[in-house]
Amino acid sequence: MPVVGDVYRDKREDNFRTLRVVKDLGDGRFECLVIEQTYRGITKYPNRTTTPSVKHLTTMFVLISEGKEATV
């Protein structure tokens, strides 16, 4: 299960993104920040949000860095 701070990368060969989980929205969805996107060899750093489902995040992406759940 994804946690805040996890970083995921697309499994695709082209048009792949690197996402950081920033918020658990509940109901199996997460707010993620697109921190890097490469398409046809051109890399950009859009820093825009996307809201993938947990299924999409865990099947289409691979975890590359584990985050820590925020503590109060």
Specify which residues 2 forms β-bridges with. none
Report in angstroms the alpha-carbon separations of 70 from 23, 44, 53, 65: 10, 28, 20, 16
Instruction: Give domain status of residue 58, yes or no.
Output: yes
Instruction: Give domain status of residue 1, yes or no.
Output: no
Q: Determine which of 16-25, 26-35, 41-50, 56-65 has the lowest per-residue pLDDT on average.
A: 56-65
Q: Rounded to two decimals, what is the model's pTM?
A: 0.84
Instruction: Give domain status of residue 71, yes or no.
Output: no
Tens digits of residue pLDDT in 3-15? 999 999 998 888 8
Instruction: Give domain status of residue 45, yes or no.
Output: yes
> What domain range includes position 17?
7-65
Task: Give yes or no for a contact between 32 and 46, defined as CB atoms under 8 angstroms apart.
Answer: no
Strands 29-39 and 48-50: antiparallel
Task: Give yes or no for a contact between 48 and 56, defined as CB atoms under 8 angstroms apart.
Answer: no
* Number of domains the chain is built from: 1
